[in-house]
């Protein structure tokens, strides 16, 4: 039987080293368009006026079918971009589908908040939705981020 504490420690270590064969975390980019033009951004940004930088209805359908094909019952979906709030219709469609498909869900919306918090507030009312954003420093530095051609105001701090 062995020592209870030793067996407990062995079990904890075994769980830490176990790699699940079930995919339970995906990062999706529903649009490459962004209303900012940050020099340090690692994303493949497209201007607001870009055509074909957003998911098509066919791409959305194929992604939802992909979710349906997964064997697990838990899913974390992180929406990145571009700026995903530019296509909240796609974000909301994925969230609604995933909630029906999986027993346990969590969603992370990575937003620059340039459009203000009112855009994402309805989504954040749900317990399974979180927000991720980037604060670069004091207001004078943060307000240098907007692309002058985007029409984005300095809505970050009011949204934050």
- Structure tokens, 37: 């033009």
Residue 43 has pLDDT above 80, yes or no: no
- SS3 of 144, please? coil
Tell me, yes or no, if the pTM score tops 0.85: no
Question: Side-chain half-sphere of 30: how many Cα atoms within 13 Å?
Answer: 24
The span from the CA of 43 to the CA of 50, in Å, is: 15
- SS3 of 140, please? helix
- Structure tokens, 10: 């062995």
Residue 154 has pLDDT above 60, yes or no: no
The span from the CA of 77 to the CA of 94, in Å, is: 9
Residue-range domains of the chain with CATH: 23-159 (3.20.20.70)
Q: What is the pLDDT of residues 66-95, one digit of tens each?
A: 999 999 999 999 999 889 999 999 999 999
Percent residues over pLDDT 70 in the chain: 79
């Amino acid at each position: 039987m062995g020592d209870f504490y030793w067996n407990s420690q062995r079990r904890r270590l075994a769980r830490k080293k176990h790699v699940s064969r079930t995919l339970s975390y995906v990062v999706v980019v529903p649009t490459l368009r962004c209303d900012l033009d940050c020099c340090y951004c690692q994303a493949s940004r497209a201007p607001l006026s870009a055509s074909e930088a957003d998911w098509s209805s066919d791409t959305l359908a194929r992604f939802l079918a992909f979710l349906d094909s997964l064997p697990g019952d838990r899913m974390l979906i992180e929406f990145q971009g571009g700026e995903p709030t530019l296509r909240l219709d796609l974000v909301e469609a994925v969230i609604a589908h995933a909630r029906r498909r999986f027993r346990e869900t969590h969603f992370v919306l990575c937003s620059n908040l340039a459009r203000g918090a009112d855009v994402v507030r309805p989504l954040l009312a749900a317990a399974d939705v979180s927000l991720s954003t980037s604060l670069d420093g004091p207001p004078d530095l943060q307000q240098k981020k907007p692309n002058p051609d985007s029409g984005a105001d300095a809505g970050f701090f009011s949204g934050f």
